[in-house]
Amino acid sequence: MHDHLRPVERRILALRASGESTDQIAARLRRSPAHVERIITWTDIPRSGPAPMLAPMARGRVVLALRGDGMSREAIAEKFGRSAESIRRLEGLAHYRRALDLLG
């Protein structure tokens, strides 16, 4: 229902739904009542943040697959908006994690 909200926003809405006043919520969370009211108001505003990113482990698997297909580190770096050195480190970490998975 409120999956798009941050944990503090979900907590404030849950406390509000349970019947606590803004002052009680503010005291419990050590925030001002005005701050709590702003958060309650903001929860109704639609979010339009950046597109979700791949988790680092998933990104490592993608890098390994792309390298296996013959793509250069420079091309992968451009695709992900990172440096070639960053892709090299990510590739090494992905190989390390894969080895650990194989060892059990």
What integer pLDDT is reported at residue 19 of this predicted model?
A: 96
Within 8 A by CB and 6+ apart from 25, the residues are: 12, 15, 16, 36
At 7-66, the pLDDT tens digits run: 999 999 999 999 999 999 999 999 999 999 999 998 888 777 666 666 767 888 999 999
What pLDDT shows up at residue 50? 64
Give residue-wise pLDDT tens across range 64-90.
999 999 999 999 999 989 999 999 999
> How much is the pTM?
0.47
> For residue 1, what pLDDT is reported?
56
Q: Contact, 24 vs 17, CB < 8 A?
A: no
